[in-house]
Amino acid sequence: MFGYYLDLALRSLKRTPILTGLMVLAIGLGIGASMTMLTVLHVMTDDPLPGRSSHLYVPHLNPLPLKGNFFANGYDPSDHLTWPDAMALLNAQSARRQSAMAAGHLLVRPSAVGMRSFYVDGRYTTADFFTMFGVPFERGSSWSAADDAAGAHVVVLADSLARKLFGGTDAVGKMVRMGENDLRVIGVTTNWQPSPLFYADSRTKRYSDRDLFFLPLSTAVDLNLGTDGNVDSWGKMPNGDMRSATTTWLQFWVQLDTPTQVAAYRQFLIDYSAQQKSLGRFQRPATNARLYSLMGWLVHENLVPGDVRLQMWLALGFLLVCMVNVMALLLAKFLRRSGEISVRRALGARRRDIFVQFGIESAVIGVAGGVLGVLIAELGLWSVRHRPDDYAHIARMDASMLLTTLALAVFASMIAGLLPAWRACRVAPALQLKTL
């Protein structure tokens, strides 16, 4: 029966090409606009570390005084940790793995003749960073916890930076001058660039920036390399010492594999905050300590701009308007075929048969509108990629969104066709047959 109803639907649509074209265009425009913004939202909120993100958490302490304006820069300084707090969490070893980190920006001085010095962005971090985040290595390996403790002058380079400095030769074991210091290369990572760069602070362009080097955090502090990330201080910071207890600048991540570990670490943070409050360091309640999951942290950081969400809702509203127009056109089309419906009813067709027939006709319109919607969405995403926004270059439709576009188009057209199909199958055959 499906083939029969499909044949009837195609014949009916061919008889009214202009009306059919208007309905397909309405669905295509609504689907194209809405899927453009839904795709942008999808890629911006996608899981940056599939398979690992459910085990990664951000401890959140609040060492800020009760009085003071700490939000003038548009972010919460307590999103980062002070050096004493970060070191206390590291030394407590309460998680399976943990890593403290901060953004770096250093001048690289190539040894090759003719190459000019240039600045690169990277990360000062601790040894567990690579294992915890699953950073793949092309050559060599990361440093050890002993290297962290000793402040070893070692560095891990990204593959692109290693090739730029050393060409096709193996960079492991070679020396590279960064800032005023000579560092030994111990590893080269492959093309690893999570999107968004979830572990970075708010000064980073999280959808386009990439860390090109990794340096032990203790080494960076010992060499007074400073940080390119957010630094907030509400007390004295003698001689710019980043170890100050009144300066937040470090990001901190932990790996917790079971709900029991998560609950235990959350209690550990509360107990630590209570201890610091009893010592006079913290002024706020110990219950302010929180533990964010990776995806929860991205929500907390509000990575999706408000204008993107607004545009998404406007596009969905436009789709609703298009559906109402398609509903009106289908209603007019179906009711105009009252005579045909009555003849079929007189020949034994049930109301359910009429409803299914017109439902399939609505679905065919949805499929055609979905194909048009995909083309319009691709055009919309192309225009988004030419915008100057940080996220613009990742606005591309993947297979899942392509299937979603087609499914949404069919769903929208069938929803729009419910009322017209219901009205059509309620036509009284006797009254219509008298007029034939």
**CA 255, 268, 218 angle in degrees (round to 5)?**
60
Domain ranges of the chain: 2-45+305-434, 53-300
**Residue whose C-alpha is closest to residue 263's, from 95, 46, 429, 427:** 95
Chain segment 158-207, per-residue pLDDT in tens: 999 999 999 888 999 999 999 899 999 999 999 888 988 899 887 788 88
* Mean pLDDT confidence for 393-415: 86
Rounded to an integer, the average pLDDT of 84-92 is 95
Residue 403, burial from CB neighbour count under 10 angstroms (0-12, 13-18, 19+):
exposed
Distances (CA, A) of 64 to 202, 297, 325, 428: 19, 20, 55, 75
Q: Is 348 buried (19+), middle (13-18) or exposed (0-12) by CB count in 10 A?
A: exposed
DSSP-based three-state secondary structure for 272: helix
Return the percentage of the chain with pLDDT > 90, whole number: 43
Q: Is a pLDDT exceeding 80 seen at residue 315?
A: yes
Q: What is the pLDDT of residue 25?
A: 92
pLDDT value at 1 more than 80: no
When pLDDT is averaged across residues 246-258 and rounded to a whole number, the result is 94
Is residue 428 packed enough to be buried (19+ CB in 10 Å), middle (13-18) or exposed (0-12)? exposed
pLDDT at 9 over 50: yes
pTM above 0.85, yes or no: no
Contact, 136 vs 159, CB < 8 A? Answer: no
Q: Identify whether 136 is preceded by a cis peptide bond (ω within 30 of 0).
A: no
What span, in angstroms and rounded, lies between the C-alpha atoms of 365 and 359? 10
* CB burial string 320-344: b at 16+ within 10 A, e below: eebbebbbebbbebbeebbebbbeb
Q: Which whole-number Å values give the CA distances from 406 to 108, 371, 401, in the listed order?
A: 50, 7, 9
Among 44-48, 104-108, 133-137, the minimum mean pLDDT is found in 44-48
Q: Is 160 left (phi over 0), alpha (psi -120 to 50) or beta?
A: alpha
* E-strand stretches of 245-387: 247-255, 290-293
How many other C-beta atoms are found inside a 10 Å radius of the C-beta of residue 431? 10
pLDDT for position 416: 85
